[in-house]
Structure 1
Amino acid sequence: MPHKMKLEFECMWKKVLTEKFNVIAVGKLFRQTTGGLVVGCEDGVIRLYHLPASSNVDAQLQLKLCLETKGGPLQSLVLDDVTKFGSTDVISGDSRGTVTIFCNGQILNRQSVSGYSVNCLQVDKNATGNLSIVCGDSGGNLNALLPYSQVWKCQLGADSAQAATKSPSVKCLLAATLASSSGQASNYVLAGDDCKMLHFLQQGTTVHRIQTPAVVTAMCCGQWLTKDEVDVADTRPGVVSQVALGGHDGSVYIMSNFQVHVIQYCNVLLPITQLSRLPSIHGDDLDLLLVAGHFSSVFLYHAKQLICKCEVPDWVNTMTVADIDHDGNEEVIVGCQDQTICALKLR
C-alpha cells in the first residue's frame, strides 16, 4: 500500500459573480493566446472572463465578452474545435432543449433538439478524426449533431424492458475510447440514467449496458486501480481502461473491462455531482480523483485513500481543471451554488 501523501489545497483567488450560473469551463477561445474562464449563466448568456495573472485571494475577474444564446438558463457547456476552423468553439445546452454553437464569437447554429433540459454535452471523436456533439436531456433523449446537421438520435433504454415502466432520464455522459481485456479499443458514449443503468452507445445504438450499484451522476477517465486489481491496463495514448463512476448516494466505483468492481473506491455519503482527474504526482501511475457535490468541500483521493479536502463556500455545481497559472500543473476551478468561483492549487 503506498504511503499517504501530504497535500493540501491553497485558494489562489475567489470571486462572487452577480449572475447566477450552472456551469464553467476554461479554454483559449477565438484564437486567443491566453485562456479565459467561460461561465454559462441562468440568463442565457455565456460570459468570458480574463483569468487573474497572479495568485491573489481577492483578485477580480475582468469581464471580456458576453455571448447571447437567445435561449433559456444554461445547463451544460463544452469547448472544442467542432467546426475545424482552427479555433475553439463554444457549445451550450439550455433548459429549453436548445443547443447553441458559437464560432469566433458569433452564433453559428442554434438547434432545438428536444423539449427537455439539455443537462449533458460531450464531443465524441473516433479514430479517424470524425466527431459529433452528443446531447443528453432530462427526458432520456440522446442527440448527436454537427453544426449544420443531425447525426443520430435515440431514446435511452427504448430497446429494454425498462422502457415499458419508466422513461429513464440522462444523468451524465462521457465520450471515451475504451479498451477491453482482449486488447481491442473503440470509442463509446457512456450514458448513466436514473434507473441505475450504464449504457454504452456507438452511432446511436446501445451495444452494451450494465447495472450499477447506484444512480451514476458523474464520470471521468483515469488510472485509479493498480494492474494487480484490474484485468486490463492499456497504455496506448488516448485509450482508457478505467472509468470512475460517482453515485447519487455518495459512492464511487471503478469500471474496467465493461464491469464495475464490487469494492467501493470511496464514499462521501452525500450526492456527487462532479468528478475530475488530476495527474499522478506520486510516482505510482495512479491518478488523483477530485470529488464534489452536495457538500461544501472538494475531496481529493489517491489509491482509495482521502488525501485532503478543501472547504468551499457552498455546494459545488460545476468543476473543471486547467493550468491557469502556466506552471505546468493543473489547478482546480469550482463554481458554487452561492455564485462563488474559487481557484484551488494543490501543494
Structure 2
Amino acid sequence: MLSHEKLWERKLDDPINCLEVGKPFLEELSEENDILIGTTAGRVLILNQDKPPEVLLETKGGSVQALQLYDLTGQRALDLVVGDSEGVITMFSRQQILSKQEIGTAVTTIDIFKDLDQGYEIIAGGMNGTVTGFQPHEIFWSLKVAEESAKIATLHMKGRRSPYIHCILATTLNDPFGQSMAVLLVCDGWQFVHFLRGSNRILSLRVPTVICSMAAGRFLTHEIAHRYSKKDTTKPKTISDLDKAYKDKQVLMAGEDGCVYVMINYEIHQLFNVGFRLTKIIGFRPSFLKEDEPDLVICVGYANQALVYRGDKRICEIATADWPHNVTVGDVNADGQDELILGLLDQTVQVYRWIKTE
C-alpha cells in the first residue's frame, strides 16, 4: 500500500534538536516550504534542497529545544515560537522579536492550544514538570503537573520519577456526552495522562508505561473498533456505539515499552508493539487515502528505522543510518504532497516522498 523514495539528504554541522516545516513571516506562500531546525546557541536554521543551511534567526539564548509556527498576531502570516534550554520562550513576528516569556525551567515541549471560540494559548512544558499557558505579552497560568502525578500515585508507584514533561497534546475531543471540548493532554515521568483545562486537572488516566509522545486523529479500522468494543463487557454495544468509536477522533500514545496505545471512549488499549523504545509518533494522511481509510502513523525511537502503521499493521519500513531523533511531515518541494522529514542523531536531515503501491 505504501512505499517511499529518498529525495535528498543533508549532513549538518549542528545537532538537530527539533524540526518544523513551514514558511514563517509570509502572508502568502509563493514557493516551497522550508525545513526549520532548532539547534545550539539559540539558533534556528533554515534548510531546503537548493541551498545550504542558513541561520534564520537567533534568540541569543540557550539551545533551542522546541519550535512552533502559528499566527500569533492575526496578520495572516506564520509567526515563530522558540523555546530554549534556559527556560526562555522567544516569539518572532516578521523576523523581529515580538516578545519573550520565561517559565523558570528548561523548555521540553511546546504546543498551541486553540479553544472553541478561536482563541489560543501557547503551552510550554518544562524540565521541572511544570506546564505554563500564555500569550506573547501575558502568562495566564502555570501548573506543576509532576506534583499532581505524585498526589494520585498508588503505593506501588512510589519512588523516584522523572518530573519533566515528555509531551503535550492540544486537541479537541468529544466528552462522554458527545459534546466537543478543547483539552490539553499532558504526560510526565509518571504512568499517567492528565487532562487539563487551563490550570485545572479535570481527569487523569493510568497508562501501562511512561508516555513519550501523543498524536490525535482517526486511526481505527472498523475491525479494530469492533475488537476493542468486544473487550469492554461493562455494557452492551450497539451499531451506533461502534460507529461512534470508529468515527470519533482518537488519541495514540507512544510508550517507553515500545507499545503504541489508543484511547477509545477514555479507555486505554494496546494497539501494537514496535519492538523498541519509542520517542516520537505523528499521524498523517497522504492525499491518496480514501475518505473512509484511517490515518497513518509514523513511529521512531531507539532503532535505525522509521516505521509506518495503518491501524495495527506495519505497512512501511524506512532504514536509516542512525536513530531518527526528530520527525515531521510537510510539503517541502511544492508538489502538493506532504513529504517525510527525518532528523537523525548523526546530524543528517533526510527527506522522503511517499509512493502508493497496490
Structure 2 length-normalised TM: 0.86
Instruction: Quote the Cα distance in structure 1 between the aligned partners of 2:52 and 2:117.
Output: 39
For 1:214, the aligned partner's letter is T
Q: Which amino acid aligns with 1:294?
A: Y
Partner residue, 2:262: 254
Where do 5+ consecutive residues of structure 1 fail to align?
Answer: 53-59
Match of 2:35 among 23, 34, 37: 37
Instruction: Give the match for residue 89 of structure 1.
Output: 79
Percent identical pairs in the alignment equals: 30
- More moved, 64-73 vs 187-196: 64-73
How big is the shift at 1:203? 1.4
What SS does structure 2 have at the residue aligned with 1:158? helix
User: Which of 135, 138, 144 is the matching residue for 2:127?
Assistant: 138
Task: Give the structure 2 partner of residue 187 of structure 1.
Answer: 182
- Does the CA contact (< 8 Å) of 1:289 and 1:301 recur in 2? yes
Match 2:99 to one of 84, 88, 109: 109
Alignment of 1:294-333 (within 5 A): 294-333=302-341
Map 1:190-205 to 2 at 5 A. 190-205=185-200
Letter of the 1:66 counterpart: L
Query: How far 1:226 sits from its partner (Å)?
Result: 2.9
- Give the aligned partner of residue 61 of structure 2: 71
Task: Say if 1:220 and 1:276, in contact at 8 Å, map to a contact too.
Answer: yes
* 2:111 counterpart of 1:122: yes
Aligned partner of 1:206 in structure 2 is: 201
| Contact 1:313-1:340 within 8 A present in 2 as well | no
After alignment, is 214-223 or 268-277 more displaced?
268-277
Q: CA deviation at 1:148?
A: 0.5
Q: CA RMSD in A?
A: 2.0
Deviation of the 1:276 alpha carbon: 1.2
Select the residue among 275, 278, 296 that pairs with 2:281.
Answer: 275
Cα displacement string for residues 141-198 of structure 1 (whole angstroms, at most 9, x for unaligned residues): 0001110000111110434524896673211010000113421110111101111110
Structure 2 alignment gaps of length 5 or more: 230-240
Could you report, residue by residue, the CA deviation over 1:76-99 in whole angstroms, capped at 9, with x for unpaired residues?
111111222221111111111111
Would you say 1:48 and 2:46 are equivalent positions? yes
User: What is the rounded CA distance, in whole Å, between the counterparts of 1:43 and 1:157 in structure 2?
Assistant: 28
SS of the equivalent of 1:249 reads: coil
Q: Does 1:62 pair with 2:52?
A: yes
Q: Is the 8 A contact 1:180 1:241 kept in 2?
A: no
Task: Give the AA of the match of 1:20.
Answer: P
For residues 208 and 270 of structure 1, the distance between their equivalents in structure 2, rounded to whole angstroms, comes to: 29
Supply the distance in 1 between the matched residues of 2:146 and 2:15 (Cα, whole angstroms): 33
Name whichever structure is richer in helix by fraction.
2
Alignment check: 8 A CA contact 1:241 1:257 kept: no
CA distance in 1, matches of 2:57, 2:138: 22
